Chain A
Amino acid sequence: MDSLRIICPNGHLGFAPLRVESFRLGVAARPGCIAADSGSDDVGPIPLGTDTSTSPLAWQTQDLEYMLAASRQLDVPMIIGSAGDTGANSRVDLYVQIIKELAAKHRLPRFKVGYFYSEVGKEDLRFRMRAGETVAGLEAHQALTEAELDATERIVAMAGVHPFIALLRQGADVIIGGRSSDSCVFAAPAIHHGFPENHAYYLGKVLECASFCAEPYGGKETVLGEITADGVEVTAMHPAQRCTVASVAGHAMYERSNPYFEHVAGGTLDMSECRYEQVAEKTTRITGAKFKPAVEFRVKLEGAGKIGERYVGMVGIRDPYTIAHVDEVMGWARQQVRERFGDTGYELHYTVYGRDGIMGELEPLRHRPGHELCILVQGVAPTAAMAEEVCMTGTRQMFYARLPDVKGSAGSVAFALDEVLRASPAYRWTLNHTLRCDDPLELFPTHMTTAGG
């Protein structure tokens, strides 16, 4: 095989639907593989914690249907990573079930569906920690303690290329992956077909977010990547989009702290010597990427822990005197919560829109609030009843705030709703860590089933 072409129709399958026109053009180019990643930690810790998807089932199913129909028609592999936003086991099972139902719906001939799981059991991790293994913190996270492990609801490990390659070797026609590095979904088939790791990981890096590597800006459009022994070429499929040197190089920066390095299980892609060349109207060629294998095989872990049940309330303020003293208004309400519930055992958060609601302590203009404010109140507590009361007290008591010189003595805030509303439970990211593994597959058990026929 001199080259392998892969199309990616969606940078986060399910989060918003793929665009059909450019997908059809991509399929017409007869790629050797159709692949997409379906996950992100951008959606926050709640889906992982509650074992749900943030993407609607209808959109997940729709994109899987387009991809499955095309891949079976071309008889080429379809590969999905990070099933159902989180890549948790229940999400893998969900996607495998969707594939089986779609196969039956379209009366597809029998084909092989490979899948792997990514969840890591808390007791497995505790056992490793007690055996002396350090679960090292990434970025702002400290090394994992057993207390943080206890506070964690669910953990997924971030797969590299290894389980995908294992399933391709077993002849999988469709692969549904647990949590995986985006780029590895695309690098795996390239490595499986014998292409150099240097180019294979770059191919994955450039394809992972679909048309985000093209211009003008427009998400959810299909792009086509082609790998040879000598480099990678990427082409926009949408008639109005192009992959340019600027758009492709610019994509290396997206969502990463450093544009030169991409870390995955098993090594680091070094893009500092990349060379970009416009080789056709819609195509840019990239050479010079280097994959550096890691000395120690470490896998990233993500974990979410529950803080409590949550209610939200909302108030408005128009009186300029009250706006100038809004911290005292919130302070009064907070004090009433404190007198009822004490200092700890719950959380009460105020977000002051019109002052620093979006940027908080980073807001340079927080000393210049607008002529009206909206304050979002969040009460979090172990039980729903307590969360409701924390939030209700923290909201309604703003109405009764005692400001010495206020003219309006009938109420310090405006209510659009004189109620507090149940929100999703509050979770936090407890794990953003790495774990050493002896075997690249040990956290990612693979399975094979069939669909259709």
Chain B
Amino acid sequence: MAATGTKKLSELAKTIRSKNAGVDLITFDIIFSDRATYERVKRARVLTRESVQRLYGLAPGRISDFVEFDPANAIKFTIYRLRPSGGPGDPDIFGAQQYAPLLDIEVPDA
């Protein structure tokens, strides 16, 4: 259960997804239906370069881009793969199932 006044990111976002961006990168998109919700999440600072680095246990330098993309009410970040997509042992060649840990991020009330 979320603490009083907080909501999970999955309750606030319209879309939370991950996907290859070329063979070396996986990109994550968190898209909100309206500007107010998007601004609320931005203000809460729960989705930042640092928080993503902690959540995924990423070494410094693994995040290639982190963008707050106002035209689409979206937050977007991109990480380097350790090996290119599609080689033996890569369990997610499209990078499509890497977003799940984002769903439960707690967002405090605005």
Contact = CB atoms under 8 A, between A and B. Distances in A.
Contact of A364 (B24, B56, B64, B84): B56
Contacts, number: 140
A426 interface: yes
Interface in B13-50: 15, 19-25, 27, 29, 31, 33
A250 B67 CA distance: 13
A428 B87 contact: yes
B72 A432 contact: no
Contacts of B24: 138-141, 432
Nearest to B100: A359
B74 A253 contact: yes
A254 B91 contact: no
Interface residues of B, number: 45
Contact of A257 (B25, B57, B72, B85): B25
A249 B15 CA distance: 14
Query: Which residue, B19, B57, B71, B97, has most C-beta atoms of chain A within 10 A?
Result: B71
5 A-B pairs with the lowest CB-CB distances in the bound complex, closest first: A44-B86, A349-B89, A139-B24, A249-B72, A426-B88
Interface in A255-282: 255-260, 274, 276
A250 B25 contact: no
Interface string B73-96: 110101011111111111111100
A111 to B, nearest CB: 36
Interface of A: 41-46, 138-141, 245-246, 249-250, 252-260, 274, 276, 302, 307, 310, 347, 349, 351, 357-362, 364, 376, 378, 380, 426-429, 432
Contact of A429 (B67, B78, B85, B101): B85
Contact of B19 (A249, A255, A357, A361): A255
Nearest to B89: A349
A252 B72 contact: yes
A253 B69 contact: yes
A307 B27 contact: no
B76 A259 contact: yes
Nearest to A431: B23
Contact of B55 (A139, A252, A255, A364): A364
A429 B71 CA distance: 34
Contacts of A302: 23
A347 B90 CA distance: 13
B109 interface: no
B67 A432 contact: no
A256 B84 contact: no
21 contacts: A42-B85, A44-B85, A139-B23, A249-B74, A250-B15, A250-B29, A252-B69, A257-B21, A257-B64, A257-B78, A310-B88, A347-B89, A351-B89, A359-B100, A361-B57, A362-B98, A364-B56, A378-B89, A428-B83, A429-B23, A429-B86
Contacts of A255: 19-21, 27
Contacts of A246: 31, 33, 72-73
